[in-house]
Amino acid sequence: MTSIAQAFAGKKALITYLAAGDPDLETTAFLLKLLDREGVDLLEVGIPFSDPLADGPVIQQAGQRALSGGATLKKILALLKTLAPEISAPRVLMGYMNSLIAYGLEAFADDSAAAGVSGVIVPDLPFHQSEELASLLKERDMDFILMVTPNTTDKRLKAIAEKASGFLYCVSTLGVTGDSANAGTPLKEYTDRVRSITSLPLALGFGVNSPEKARLAAEAADGVVVGSALISLLEPCGTNLECLEKKAVPFLRSLQPSLQPGSGLVK
Amino acid sequence: MKTSMYFGPFGGQYVPETLIPALDELEEAFLASATDSSFGEELLTLLRDYDGRPTPLYFASRMTKALGGAKIYLKREDLNHTGAHKINNALGQVLLAKRMGKKRIIAETGAGQHGVATATAAALFGLECVVYMGEEDIRRQAPNVDRMDLLGAKVISVTSGTGTLKDAVNEAIRDWVTNVEDSFYVIGSVMGPHPYPLMVREFQKVIGIEARAQILEKEGRLPDQVIACVGGGSNAMGIFHAFVKSAWRRGGWGWRRESTPPPSPEDGRGCSTAPTPTCSMMTTDRFSPPIPSPQGSTIRGSARSTATSTTQAGPLMSPSPTTKLLKPSGAPAASRGSSPPLRAPTPSPTSTAPLPPCRRTASCW
Ligand SMILES: Cc1ncc(COP(=O)(O)O)c(C=O)c1O
């Protein structure tokens, strides 16, 4: 079983997103270890980028802080390599295609594998253009995680599911990260449609900002992604580790019960 | 996708998945419009009776004399309604939006010309219009902001990123992702995800079609050079397109880029459309040249006026491996009397360098 499959095995997965290097890489290292210790099942590590089209203001600003703090993909990969022995939750890199092209796709795949990265998500790389990256990742036993949205047609969903591995990232709304408005389609109806097409685990993300939202998402999917809400919560702490810990721990613990069987429908 | 998304190794669709159904729908509607004579007739009528086409080809006798070289003709796109070529494309796209049943028009604008053109076309068809504009550009281009306002458009100030055109594009796309079902995004240049570069060129090619017929009538021959300014490349592609085939017949053609201040990665500012032969892409298509930044993040352009401060030129404007690149004259514009003719390419060392990471692969990007 791959490390990502394990993250979804027998329970609803709690997945967090942080922009690497926000506000500096030492803080990111501290937070990743903390999240792992607190039982987060999968860690999404964002590569900061100047033009993040799929992101709302919170993650845009986190990316800006990280870029101003000097974060680069090279440094992020080096950090992940150092942290690999200390963290058990699988790490998944999430970044835009420009950053990957600038790094070089093959070098990116090599260095990610060497850094112990389990999978990659590229929100602005639709699957019909992903052949090269997908095969580079596959050759190195990393998962290529694709996104689907409420307006993805069944035909396209089938094609995406065939290419994807690890899990399918189900974007909960028509919108950008941090949007808490709903898609109009009930979550359960949406994930049922996706499930009728694929047996991959499904993670719901975009706009999950409270235990209640997490519960609803966990009822419908196999995992829940929390990004903007966590970043907004931690932002005022800057690099104050004590403050970060004080804010992060209760928040994560408030989410955990929403993911337990019995809090809603059991998988 | 029913048509090729690529121009050489450039182009494609680098956008969130949410937009794919909208781009498919748009491509289908655009291709259908291309063979629908009622669409063509309606657009032609608008271009003639509303916009004022054809625009004249004017012999600039004093400029010709002052520069002492080639005979210079000006294709007067400034005489279009709203004052620029932008309306050719805005009318085409808004007409398409109307026929697709869209209720709401989104646009980005830099200097405000495209915003004014789109606001005008939306008002003409009675559609709601929202224009994204960088906060810095809003300050620099207040009269155009007032015009859009008068036309009933809502101008939204963009403060994210650098607060300029590229950020306005990003915000417009974020709006579109969120309101994809009832909104139509009118992109103002030959940029963005397929089918925009192709579609915008098709709506702008009227410039070259007219200019070609006009120069043949006036001079009985084709020009030695066609010169255009490039922000994203829509007026350039609009005029070049009709001349490219004839240029091939006459022994080939090529690009020569004349750039405003050269890119300077050191101080973090680069000229928007500088001849950097590095392959990269903005987030919506893959095109060259980028403003150099080793991390792949974009940095702001240095162009002093807003109109040319797109981050990169569109994919049609990018030097593909088969494009001949002519040496920039290097001379200041006013004394450029004897620039090399179009069919005598002298490749410059930088512009013929290979385009490293940009291979055309099986998946075609
Ligand atoms: C009058 C005018 N010309 C040229 C441009 C540059 O755009 P493009 O290269 O797409 O023609 C602009 C852009 O705003 C413009 O307003």
Measured in Å, residue A200 CA sits from the centre of ligand 1 at 47
pLDDT at A43 over 60: yes
pLDDT of B5 reads 84
Over range A117-134, report the average pLDDT: 95
Q: Closest Cα partner for B119 from B49, B110, B128?
A: B128
Over range A190-202, report the average pLDDT: 97
Over range A57-72, report the average pLDDT: 96
Catalytic choice (A41, A44, A111, A219): A44
A23/A31 Cα distance (integer angstroms): 11
pLDDT at B79 over 60: yes
Structural contact between residues B108 and B171, judged by C-beta atoms closer than 8 angstroms: yes
Residue B224 — very low, low, confident or very high, per pLDDT cuts 50/70/90? confident
pLDDT at B278 over 80: no
pLDDT of B116 reads 98
Q: Write phi, then psi, for A109 (nearest 5 degrees).
A: -65, -45
Question: CB A133: neighbour CB atoms within 10 A?
Answer: 21
For chain B, the average pLDDT equals 77
pLDDT at B357 over 50: no
Residues of B in contact with A101 (CB under 8 A): 279-281, 286, 296, 357
Per-residue model confidence as pLDDT tens digits over B112-130: 999 999 999 999 999 999 9
Secondary structure of residue B55 in the 3-state scheme: coil
What percent of chain B is predicted at pLDDT more than 90?
55
| CB spacing of A129 vs B170 below 8 angstroms | no
Structural contact between residues A202 and A194, judged by C-beta atoms closer than 8 angstroms: yes
Most confident of A213-217, B50-54, B235-239, B260-264: B50-54
| CB spacing of A51 vs B297 below 8 angstroms | yes
- Among the residue ranges A117-121, B43-47, B230-234, B311-315, the one predicted with the least confidence is B311-315
B269–chain A Cβ distance below 8 A for any pair: no
pLDDT higher at A118 or B281: A118
Residues of A in contact with B174 (CB under 8 A): 53, 56, 176
Measured in Å, residue B230 CA sits from the centre of ligand 1 at 7
Is A110 one of the catalytic residues? no
Is A141 one of the catalytic residues? no
ipTM of the prediction = 0.92
pLDDT of B362 reads 21
pLDDT at B348 over 60: no
Over range B330-338, report the average pLDDT: 35
B287–chain A Cβ distance below 8 A for any pair: no
Residue B327 — very low, low, confident or very high, per pLDDT cuts 50/70/90? low
B137/A80 Cα distance (integer angstroms): 40
| DSSP, residue by residue, B276-313 | -------SSSB-SPPPP-TTS----B--SSGGG--SS-
Q: Write phi, then psi, for B161 (nearest 5 degrees).
A: 55, -125
Instruction: Indicate the residue of B15, B16, B361 with minimum beta-carbon distance to A131.
Output: B361
B309/B300 Cα distance (integer angstroms): 8
CATH number of the A4-259 domain? 3.20.20.70
Q: Which residue of B has its CA nearest to A58?
A: B160
Structural contact between residues B237 and B317, judged by C-beta atoms closer than 8 angstroms: yes
pLDDT of A40 reads 97
Which residues have any ligand 1 atom within 6 Å of their CB?
A: B 84, 86, 110-111, 113-114, 189, 229-236, 307
pLDDT at B269 over 50: no
pTM as predicted: 0.85
